[in-house]
Amino acid sequence: MSEFEFDRNACRDYNTVARRARRARKKQQLQFWGGMNRRQFMGRSAATVGAAAMASGLPSWFPECTFADNGGPSNHTFIFIHLFGGPDGLAMISPYNDPDWFSLTARQQLLSVPLPGSPDPLALVDLDGFSGMSGALARGSSQLGGLKNIWDAGDLCIAMGCTLPLQSYSHFSAEFWVGQSTPRPGPGVVGESMLARYLERTPSSGGPIRAMSVASNLHDHLLGGLPFQALPISNAENFGVDGLPGGVSESDWVNTLVNMYGNQNIASEWEELSAVTQDAINLLDMVPNWNPAGYNFDGTYVGSALRRIAVMLNEGVSLETVTVRPGGWDTHNNQGNNRLTGAMWLLMESLALNIHEFWRYMTTECPNKAWTIYMTGEFGREADPEFSDGMGGQVTPDTAGTDHGYGTNIFMIGPRICGGQVVNLGLWPGLGSLHSAYFCGGNNDVCANTDSRIYLVEIMDRLMGVNHQDLPFLFPEYNVPSPAEYHGVVC
């Protein structure tokens, strides 16, 4: 499904914005840079490159691209996978030994799977005697394996019951705040994501593609910051300037656009933009093989994204951060608990397969490359679904789903991750606290035991080269913990 497509199984929040996006597209008023329109973009950019320079006008393709500057080296790639829609954390990682697990009556009757130890292929796979991983995630959709193999190898760490404090139940507000790493951000924070602040504060790798969203527009997670520091690439295999007249090269076309839209006030800006654009096109054109033999990425968005990222990293493209945003996780109905009737089951199988193949490729083909995957959603789902569909009908296991919730899971994967642990298990508040006021959103939510920012802080500090004194700049309005307070997700 495209980012603007109506989803009949999704919530009103999702489809209202989808309708607005389609209307905007028809009026040629598409938004970009995570929701800014052209006027907002011009205003922000004028503050950076000068009002006189911006007043000369911009080509229509400019909002699609921002590029890196040149600077010092970076040795680690941070990959943020945002599961858009808000995945059901209890279906992915089930605290089956919580004393109140079986008191979730509707979940047990409508969405439950067999406990660990059952020969049933749908059964949970035990992690630590308390938590079980969904069989779809654990095994993936092929014989090669899923996330359980990565867990056993010590490269997967999980945190349960996480969110931002006071998180919104709106997909788009919540995703925006996740990108900002700031819940309900104040006026001084809005418009600049945590990863954009990271790119501002750290030296660049010097390559033409410093940061990338696998999309036609930058995701919220790379919104704002300095110009020319991130690039939206929906398909790295065919990256270039579209719609060229016959017989005109990309290089000539880019240079012509610079001459048309530039003037003496911004000539240096456009000369740099032209050079970096052509460098990015040339760099990706040099990749010899986008389909490595022996690896079984599927053809989904997340499969294609991870395959291309893996190949780019192996070919020496100096990506520092990448954002990937697979959708479909807004399971208000037809969530299911098996391959035949469960939309979420199929999503988990595909996700697990492609992450497994990315991990296998990276550990085999480029074992010395440093990288980390950080994967979560904008929020979780309700703990116990409803037996009624809200229209007088009864929900069945084939039609059951879950509404927006609060706490959810974070998956952290990579060679420097201290894996094989649910890192915050000792902080689990218990399912008996659903109706308490402890860090909960509503009375049917999974309570959050952990502010999710603590893991980003640890990763930025210990893996991404951010000086500890710069962390408050990356995480405004957050009391940044000391290293002694970290949970130990990085080895």
If asked whether residues 15 and 81 sit together in one domain, one would say no
The reply to whether 13 and 79 lie within a common domain is no
CB 446, CB 434: distance < 8 Å: yes
DSSP, collapsed to helix, strand or coil, labels residue 432 as: helix
Percent residues over pLDDT 70 in the chain: 69
In a domain, 379, yes or no: yes
Residue 389's nearest CA partner among 338, 335, 346 is 335
- Among all chains, which residue has been given the structure tokens 């499969």? 303
Report the pLDDT value the prediction gives residue 184, as an integer from 0 to 100: 78
In a domain, 491, yes or no: no
If you count them, how many residues does the chain have?
491
Tell me the HSE value of 200 on the side-chain side, using a 13 A CA sphere. 17
> What share of the chain in percent tops pLDDT 90?
46
Residue 229 located in a structural domain: yes
Secondary structure class of 270 (helix, strand, coil): helix
Task: Say if residues 75 and 83 touch (Cβ distance below 8 Å).
Answer: no
Indicate if 104 and 199 belong to the same structural domain: yes
What would the pLDDT profile of 248-288 be if each residue is shown by its tens digit?
Answer: 565 665 566 555 544 444 445 556 555 666 666 666 777 77
Q: Considering only CA atoms, which of 471, 416, 430, 475 is closest in space to residue 451?
A: 475
- Asked if the model's pLDDT at residue 34 lies above 50, the reply is no
Q: Are residues 135 and 57 in the same domain?
A: yes
Phi, psi of 412 (to 5 degrees): -120, 125
Q: 173 near 247, Cβ under 8 Å? A: no
Residues 124 and 10 in one domain: no
pLDDT, tens only, 175-203: 989 998 988 776 666 668 999 999 988 88
Alpha helices in 131-170 (DSSP H): 135-139, 147-152
457 is a domain residue: yes
Q: How many domains does the chain have?
A: 2
Say if residue 425 is exposed, middle or buried (CB neighbours under 10 Å; 0-12, 13-18, 19+): middle
Which residues, 6+ apart, have CB-to-CB distance to 269 below 8 Å?
49, 53, 262
Q: In the beta sheet, which residues pair with residue 161?
A: none
Type of residue numbered 365: E
Q: Are residues 105 and 10 in the same domain?
A: no
Paired tokens of 272: 């740099």
Q: How far apart are CA 61 and CA 47, in angstroms?
A: 21
Q: Identify whether the C-beta of residue 208 lies closer than 8 Å to the C-beta of residue 202.
A: no
| Chain centroid offset of residue 478 CA | 21
Cα separation, 292 vs 451, in Å, equals 39
Same domain flag for 45 and 3:
no
Q: Indicate if the pLDDT at residue 144 is higher than 90.
A: no
**Cα distance from N-terminal residue to C-terminal residue, the chain:** 38
Evaluate whether residue 101 is within a structural domain: yes
For residue 107, is it within any domain? Answer: yes
Do residues 236 and 100 touch, judged by C-beta distance below 8 A? no
Q: What are the CA-CA distances from residue 153 to residues 76, 356, 418 (Å)?
A: 20, 11, 10
Task: Say if residue 165 is in the same domain as residue 182.
Answer: yes
Alpha helices by DSSP H, listed for 87-224, are 89-92, 105-110, 135-139, 147-152, 171-180, 194-201
Q: Domain range for residue 328?
A: 35-485
Strand partners, 78: 321, 372
Q: Are residues 311 and 394 in the same domain?
A: yes
Q: What is the pLDDT of residue 3?
A: 40
- 192 and 142 within one domain: yes
Q: Given its phi and psi angles, is residue 328 left (phi above 0), alpha (psi -120 to 50 degrees) or beta?
A: left
pLDDT digits (tens, 9 = 90+) for 397-456: 888 999 999 899 999 999 999 999 999 999 988 888 765 544 555 668 888 889 999 999
Phi first, then psi, for residue 361 (nearest 5°) are -65, -50
1 and 109 in a single domain? The answer is no
Tell me if 241 is assigned to some domain.
yes
Q: Are residues 23 and 134 in the same domain?
A: no
Mean pLDDT over all residues of the chain?
A: 78
Query: Could you read off the pLDDT of 45-54 as tens digits, one per residue?
Result: 333 333 333 3
User: What is the secondary structure of 13-62 as a DSSP string?
Assistant: HHHHHHHHHHHHHHTT---BTTTB-HHHHHHHHHHHH-HHHHHT---TTG
What does the DSSP 8-state code read for residue 447? Answer: P
On whether residue 490 sits in a domain, the answer given is no
